[in-house]
Structure 1
Amino acid sequence: MMKISINKNKSIGKVLYIVEGVKTEPFLLDHIFGKLFDYQIEMSLRGKDYRKYRSKDNPLSRVFVINTEQSNIKYINEPNDYLDKLFTELITKYSFDVDNAAIYYLFDRDDHSNTDPVLIKQLLSKLKNSRNNPGFDRQGMLLLSYPAIESFTLSNFTHDSFNNVFDTGKHLKQYLNDNKINHRKIDDDTLELAVKELMSALKQINGCKYDLDDLSECNNEVFDYEEAYKSQNDVYKALSLLTISLLDLGLVEISEGENEYGTV
């Protein structure tokens, strides 16, 4: 039987999330890392001033959330003057050592906005490790949500959530609103369900085995599966890989049967 442990007192060092939205992803990450884990969280978002939440004295764990230049996955491709400038600002202005941070890129696979599957496949193969990507300009792990980040919230409250289908993030948001499913209600118990839902989904995707040292193979398997399903049915199966970052950071651990689903 799968056992899930949530590590509330773990030091995670510096963690950087690069997201496309200025509301949904930052609010969700603040709830997870701020309310659930009580880490200091900082944000520098498009059109907004720098903000710090739950400030700590000499924090051993810092979570920073920033945006790409525009809400499109092409803006994480290299070279990227905007991100380079922002990274320099994080280092010089906020003493946030980007070079030694775990980096996660959170993007939606809503084909109404991120329309270039060839580029996405390339990025999935390059952005495969949160701390080191040989042959690529910077570290970072690309984590997609199908069709949108709200699939993570759905998986916290819905059994067999992978068999819920949506064509766009807009319709997924409407479903959550209609069913009064809100990220503010996420807690330790719902987070355990989200992990189980992810493992169940990966098992259904040809028994996809994730490797936190190199996520590229599993990432591409998930992408190909979702693209084929979308091509045949005009909808995506609801799935967010945000949970992978929590496993990668050691905030969530799986034991007793983890090899059935993947390696950790």
Structure 2
Amino acid sequence: MRLNKDKHIGRVLFIVEGSRTEFSILRQIFCNLLGYSYVEKRRNRPTYFESSNDRFSKIGVINTQESNIRDISENEAYLDEVFDTLRDQYQFPVDQSAIYYLFDRDPKSNTDSALIEKYILSLTNPYDNDDYKAGQLLLSYPSIESYIISNFRDTANVPQFLLGKDVKAYIGENTDIQINRISEETLIKAADEFLRYLSSEQITFDVDEFSEASHAVFTKQEAEYLSGQGFRLFSMLTLAFLQMGIIESEKFEI
């Protein structure tokens, strides 16, 4: 595994669930570590934030109108308005960009498992999904904080958690786990944890055709949650980095 800081990625849009943690993670990685151009719009702030550094690589980060995975297909007027602003004012052609939906599988906030499964099977490609909207769904189990932990811990040795609030509490008790400490080295650590989870669950995958693997992860994680054990920490955010070529591996299939 290696980090390719010279990779030109074009335009990539992340549509996220939360209003804080996801933005902090992505800004740390794309602005502070990689030096890409970056624009963000949070639903609870009236203004946009922009950093212009690399004209060949630009990241957009926005969130849905509500903090719920259902808003991927509901309240689309809000997203359309943000898309128009990105196109007109920030030279960010959304319809020509890779799109990633970064959401949690926290059963307290996202209760409709059938809808989540539908999104897993429909949002399978960041550029084109035939008769469905473009975009790759990136789920974190149970929440995006699992990605933060994977930068600093062997997740197989971390307890399983039922809810995102439990993961937040774990981070609060382990003060070395901080977003501002995410580095080039920890990104590789998180990527290794991503691959280690898939290997331990014997889930084969192709980095460019990940939908079957994503569904297998969902099925296994749901079974563990329903048994009362809780979710194993796992975030698909690393998949985006592999697909973009930011993180390179000699072997993409296991």
Give the Cα separation in 1 of the matches to 2:64 and 2:75: 13
* Corresponding position of 2:48: 50
- 2:246 is equivalent to residue 248 of structure 1: no
Tell me what 2:60 maps to: 64
User: 1:240 deviation in Å?
Assistant: 0.6
Match of 2:23 in 1: 26
Q: How does 1:80-229 map to 2 (within 5 A)?
A: 80-136=76-132, 138-161=133-156, 164-180=159-175, 181-205=177-201, 207-229=202-224
Task: Provide TM-score, normalisation by structure 1.
Answer: 0.91
- Cα deviation code 1:8-31 (max 9, x no counterpart): 011110010000111100001000
TM-score by length of 2: 0.94
Q: How many residues are matched?
A: 252
Q: Which amino acid aligns with 2:168?
A: K
Which letter does structure 2 place at the counterpart of 1:96?
F
Cα contact 2:207–2:252 (8 A) shared by 1: no
* Maintained 8 Å contact 1:18/1:103: yes
Instruction: Kindly indicate whether the alpha-carbon contact (under 8 Å) linking 2:35 and 2:53 is maintained by their aligned counterparts in 1.
Output: no
For residue 258 of structure 1, report the CA deviation from its aligned partner. 4.1
Q: CA deviation at 1:223?
A: 0.5
> In structure 1, how many angstroms separate the alpha carbons of the residues matched to 2:93 and 2:213?
29
Q: Which amino acid aligns with 1:252?
A: I
Write the distance in 1 (CA, Å) between the matches of 2:196 and 2:229.
Answer: 22
Give the aligned residue type for 1:151: S
Letter in 1 for 2:103: F
Q: Does the 8 A contact of 1:154 with 1:161 survive in 2?
A: no
Aligned partner of residue 237 in structure 1, secondary structure: coil
Work out the CA distance in 1 between the residues paired with 2:77 and 2:205. Answer: 32
* Larger displacement relative to structure 2 (213-222 or 142-151): 213-222
Distance 2:205 2:99 in 1: 18
SS at match of 1:106: strand
Runs of 4+ with >6 A deviation = none
Deviation readout 1:207-232 (Å, 9 max, x if unpaired): 21223333221111000100000011
Q: Which amino acid aligns with 2:22?
A: E
Q: Which amino acid aligns with 1:33?
A: F
3-state SS of 1:152 partner: helix
Q: Which residue in the other structure is 2:33 paired with?
A: 36
Give unpaired runs (5+ residues) of structure 1. Answer: none
Partner SS, residue 11 of structure 1:
coil
- The amino acid across from 1:223 in the alignment is F
Equivalents in 2 of 1:218, 1:139: separation in Å?
A: 19
> 2:162 corresponds to which letter in structure 1?
D
How far apart are residue 193 of structure 1 and its match? 1.1
- 1: CA distance, partners of 2:90 / 2:252: 38
Q: Partners of 2:35 and 2:19 in 1: how far apart?
A: 21
The partner residue of 2:5 within 8, 23, 26 is 8
Conserved? CA contact 2:65–2:75, under 8 Å: no
